[in-house]
Chains A and B, each alone.
Chain A
């Protein structure tokens, strides 16, 4: 069917009818847009259908820059096209005329449907009645070149004008709806926030009417919705006040807040049931500053307060524990250092050093007194923590303590326990020092005495001394901790003094013994020599008498022989004592010559065998032909003899083996017995003087092995022993062979 061409009156009437029909239909459709349920797309689709368009767009110039367009609605575009961004006009500098934005912007539209060839476009501005400039426009796209009649153009302009009113109405309506939606959302959010708040919230209007409250508010006060919704603010306040400790103050505060709209409050309310509420209140004002009312926020802080209180107590406790631990650590370190300082036999110096160490921890200055063995109290030192006061302290130390003084060191020594003097006044000090010199009193005052701790140190035999720690400023410086610390110091000091004095006594005893040995040995040496000589004469006489005349009765030669053996033992004892004395004095001299140890050992064994006779143990010698070295022959003979005598003494009747071997630079002598052996715990003592491994019934002074060791070591060698109790012992002597520097 061909399009109608208005070539005659009838056709024009038909066209007119069509236009009027379209105008009416589209006017109705435009009016429908006042109803927000109708969409602009529907209207544009209707327009596109009636006009026969490929597409119809409704565009808006964006208010923010006027250089870009926004698609308000469309017909003929596919859904995906509508979301495409419209590019902004280029050429920032050039001004854009009101309609130009649509004309130029249209060319940049991104919709592929409009790229179809042969499309024609008609721009219909939508005049804005409020600004008289087009902010929106309708763009109609048709396939081919249509014949736009003036009637159609006029109709569309009319529709556009109507559309402007509808669109502005829709915009305002949309804005209003959006505003309402936001308000509703904010209201909902606010309600939700208030309702879910952990704080109790109450909002009261400027007219003191209850506006809103939340669940938590009811919980805090133990109220119900009924209690609050039906109550005036005044009634509500009264109801709450009945639970408050200070009701009058609570109500007075409320009155003040209502009378002063700008007032803010942050305070705590104590309830009768023990709870504590934290209250914050502030005015509510509109954007224009109009006072709308007042909001109250209540928080039950009871638990928080309790927790805070418990936390503070715990912190204090922990702090105390920490301090105590720190104090204990310091005390431990302090005592450890004290022990180190006292580890000396020079105990007087040690005590002074201890006082210097302790004075900073236990006071400002310290007196150290000693009780000598005769019971005299002697002032050892006065030390001061401040080096600048050291001279004054030393001056005070020159004064001897009064052993009969009723207070102070003398009293503590007499009592045998620590004493504390607190709150010492000048009068007290004067009274305590009334019997002493003025200079001494002056010195004491100068150093300062406000409190004092005197702690004696004593052992079994009684008091050994005392420390007096003095605080120059603190009237109550000394408590249980200081006393405990001072007691421990005193215990250490007492131990030190006692040990040192015992050691000194032992040293003196040993010295006395050595003196005695030396004197005794010298005194014995001459008589023993004379006796031995006399016995030798007698023995020869008896021998000659037996050869020349009738032999003497048997007991006489035997007695002479026994007396000779006893004399030799006595001589050896004397020699040993002298050797010990020489060794102790460092006078053991060696005469080094070429000596054959093997030969010497064989000779010594032979001699001993002769002496022991048939009743003695079997003596075996295993020796190399010759073991030569530079040694002192007589001393080595003494070594071999002592070891053999030892083996005979403790070896019983068991055989004794003597072995002499050598290496390139060393000779080795072993003497092995199979006797009682040596207990393991005594192995370390047998080379010490006057020590014996066996019971006293075996006799001897316990010097033989000591002398062996001294002689061997004087040769640069060493002696050792292997022994099993009940199995016997083996003594091993190792001697360097070559010429060497030896101790003399």
Chain B
């Protein structure tokens, strides 16, 4: 994690699994700030074991006047390690990098407007410091409460496809109750935090999931937001269940969550790829609630992916980011879907993170978190909100 001599843009990572917010912040900040020069910004990612307000106060105390932002997640990534409970802080160092942070709400009621506002604020805050354009945007929406896909569309309408887009939905310990977003030295809920980076370095993202379709396509004949009510004019769960049954998998409403974690829905793209939608629960009317929106009128496919496919996809995302950002990388951020960790289990998850780190470069500072949905662009297109996807932001300079 040492900063390379002569590298203008750097990332220093500090981590702590201490149970208390103050101790964790003190330890993680001490590591990240050790010998750090020209610190300009800190990305703070934490599991939900800490009281969000206490954690914000502790981080403020440790970082002083250094701007910072972040969110809570189901797990945090520091290098190749995954912490189910802990705090990771990545400090960006640079003499020229400029950072702007924007925060806006409420994503539960006005997701698109929140995305627009937070992005505009972040870009404005960054542009006031440098004439250079935005090079990367980190979008951290509250995915527990709102339509994060709309948040990302709002953000994209404000900043376009020029920057490298990354980020993920803030989450909790899979209870899907609450998540926190950190900005301006305090904790928010039902908000989206956007971090704009510019003025130094080269940023690029890789976005891959590793799932492939099976079974016949189904037409979304009635949907609203993240709820697919009907497929092929039938209750969505019934169609889902029947498609699984044709493969020999019996799915009940009770076991739906576990099965669906490994069998999401896919929305086909023109280039043959799919945008993944993760069904979370079935509802009494037979509809399916997903992590992100299901467009009305689209065709969806049942998707599956082996652990090897998923790990390969994560490596591919890292490779893509590294190629586009240019070697050697100064650092990387990983936003990996929490469901992938659940599917892979701890061992294979460490394997995936190891593959990512290996692809990026073993000495490249890396941090990230397990998210409720990921922000990235497939094949350099417009940014979208994905599920069950690994998004890697690499940067050099």
A and B associate in one complex: yes
Shortest C-beta distance, B385 to chain A (Å), equals 10
Q: Chain B 269-283, CB within 8 Å of chain A: the 1/0 string?
A: 111110100000000
Q: Which of A1, A5, A19 has the most CB of B within 10 A?
A: A1
B141 within 8 A of A: no
B295 lies within 8 A of A25 (CB): yes
A52 and B381 form a contact (CB under 8 A): yes
Does chain A have a CB within 8 A of B297? yes
Contact indicator B272/A46 (Cβ below 8 Å):
no
Segment from B45-53, B157-165, B167-175 that makes contact with A: B157-165
Q: Is A432 an interface residue when CB atoms closer than 8 A count as contact?
A: no
8 A Cβ contacts from A24-47 to B: 24-25, 27-29, 41-42, 45-46
The total of Cβ contacts below 8 Å across the A-B interface reads 137
Is B298 interfacial (CB 8 A cutoff)?
A: yes
B369 to chain A: closest CB distance in Å? 22
Interface string of B127-145 (1 = CB under 8 A from A): 0000001100000000000
Residues of B with C-beta under 8 A to A76: 156, 160-161, 382
- A112: CB under 8 A from chain B? yes
Q: Is the CB of A52 within 8 A of B271?
A: yes
Closest residue of chain B to A54 (Cβ to Cβ) is B161
- A191: Cβ under 8 A from any B Cβ: no
Residues of B contacting A46 in the complex (Cβ-Cβ under 8 angstroms) = 295
Q: Is B249 close to A, CB under 8 A?
A: no
* Contact mask for chain B residues 320-353; partner A; CB cutoff 8 A; 1 contact, 0 none: 0000000000000000000000000000000000
> Bound complex: CA of A68 vs CA of B331, how far in Å?
45
Q: Is A686 an interface residue (CB 8 A)?
A: no
Q: Which residues of the other chain, B, contact A109 by a CB distance below 8 angstroms?
A: none
What chain A residues lie within 8 Å of B159 (beta carbons)? 78-79
Cβ of A585 within 8 Å of any chain B Cβ, yes or no, is no
B-contact 0/1 string along A9-32, CB 8 Å cutoff: 000001101111110110111000
Asked if A18 and B270 make an inter-chain contact with CB atoms under 8 angstroms apart, the answer reads yes
The residue that A50 contacts in the complex, of B153, B158, B269, with Cβ under 8 A, is B269
Measured between beta carbons, the chain A residues less than 8 angstroms from B271 are 3-4, 51-52, 146
Note all chain A residues with C-beta closer than 8 A to B213. 14
Chain B residues within an 8 Å CB radius of A29: 295, 297
Which A residues are in CB contact (< 8 Å) with B211? Answer: 1
Partner of B382, one of A22, A75, A81: A75
Cα distance A45–B293 in the bound complex, in angstroms: 14
Which of B216-233 touch A at CB < 8 Å? Answer: 217, 219-220
Contact B156 A112, beta carbon cutoff 8 Å: no
Q: Are A24 and B381 in contact (CB under 8 A)?
A: no
**For the complex, would chain B's binding face be called helix, strand, loop or mixed by DSSP majority?**
mixed
| Cβ–Cβ contact B380 & A144, under 8 A | yes
- Per-residue B-contact encoding for A46-81, CB less than 8 Å = 1, 0 else: 101111111100000000000000000001111101
Contacts of A5 in B (CB 8 A): 272
The answer to whether A28 and B297 touch (CB under 8 A), given A49-B381, A52-B379, A75-B382, is yes
Residue of A nearest to B219 (CB): A24
Contact B381 A53 (CB under 8 A): yes
A24/B299 contact (C-beta < 8 A), A14-B272, A15-B272, A18-B269 known: yes
A116 and chain B: residue at smallest CB distance: B162
Q: Which residues of B contact A81 (CB under 8 A)?
A: 160
**Is the Cβ of A78 less than 8 Å from the Cβ of B208?**
no
Set of chain A residues within 8 Å of B12, measured between Cβ atoms:
none
B4 in the interface (beta carbon within 8 A): no
Measured CA separation A17–B218 after assembly (Å): 10
Q: How far is the CA of A142 from the CA of B269 in the complex (A)?
A: 13
Interface centre among B116, B133, B158, B379 (most CB of A within 10 A): B379
Q: In the complex, which residue of chain B has the Cβ closest to the Cβ of A52?
A: B381
**CB of A260, distance to nearest CB on chain B (Å):** 61
The closest CB in chain B to the CB of A75 belongs to B382
Q: Does A152 contact B (CB under 8 A)?
A: yes
CA distance A46 to B297 in the complex (A): 12
Tell me the complex Cα distance, A332–B382, Å. 101
CB pair A17 B299 closer than 8 Å? yes
Which chain A residues border B219 with CB–CB below 8 Å? 21, 24
A724 contacts the other chain (CB 8 A): no
**Closest residue to A53 on the B side, CB-wise?**
B381
- Asked if A245 lies at the interface with its beta carbon under 8 angstroms from chain B, I say no
Q: Closest residue to B158 on the A side, CB-wise?
A: A79
With A and B bound together, what is the CA distance between A143 and B161 in angstroms? Answer: 11
Query: Is B382 touching A79 in the complex (CB atoms < 8 A)?
Result: no
Give the docked Cα–Cα distance between A53 and B379 (Å).
Answer: 8
How far apart sit A48 and B381, CA to CA, in the bound complex (Å)?
Answer: 7
Contacts of B158 in A (CB 8 A): 78-79
Within 8 A of B (CB), among A144-158: 144, 146, 152
Interface check B384, CB cutoff 8 A? yes
Q: Which residues of B contact A25 (CB under 8 A)?
A: 220, 267, 295, 297-299
**Using Cβ atoms and an 8 Å threshold, which residues of chain B touch A20?**
217, 299
Chain A CB within 8 A of B67 CB: no
* A173–B395 CA distance with the chains assembled, in angstroms: 48
Q: Is the CB of A53 within 8 A of B382?
A: yes
Evaluate contact between A143 and B380: CB separation under 8 angstroms. Answer: yes
In the bound assembly, the distance between CA atoms of A53 and B384 in angstroms comes to: 11
Q: How far is the CA of A79 from the CA of B382 in the complex (A)?
A: 14
A81's nearest neighbour on chain B, judged by CB, is B160
Bound-state CA distance A76–B377 (Å) is 11
Q: Is the CB–CB distance between A55 and B297 below 8 Å?
A: no
22 A-B pairs in the complex with CB atoms less than 8 angstroms apart: A4-B272, A5-B272, A18-B270, A20-B299, A21-B300, A22-B268, A24-B219, A28-B298, A45-B382, A49-B269, A50-B268, A51-B270, A52-B273, A52-B378, A54-B161, A55-B160, A78-B123, A78-B159, A79-B158, A142-B380, A146-B271, A152-B270
Q: Which 9 pairs, one residue from A and one from B, show the smallest C-beta to C-beta distance?
A: A21-B299, A28-B297, A4-B272, A143-B380, A78-B160, A18-B268, A25-B298, A52-B381, A76-B161
* Interface set of B (CB-CB < 8 Å, partner A): 116, 120, 123, 133-134, 153, 156-162, 208-213, 217, 219-220, 267-273, 275, 295-301, 309, 312-313, 316, 378-382, 384
Q: Name 17 extra pairs, CB < 8 A, besides A29-B297, A75-B382.
A: A3-B273, A4-B271, A18-B270, A19-B270, A21-B299, A21-B300, A24-B298, A29-B295, A45-B153, A49-B275, A52-B380, A76-B160, A76-B161, A79-B116, A79-B157, A79-B158, A112-B162
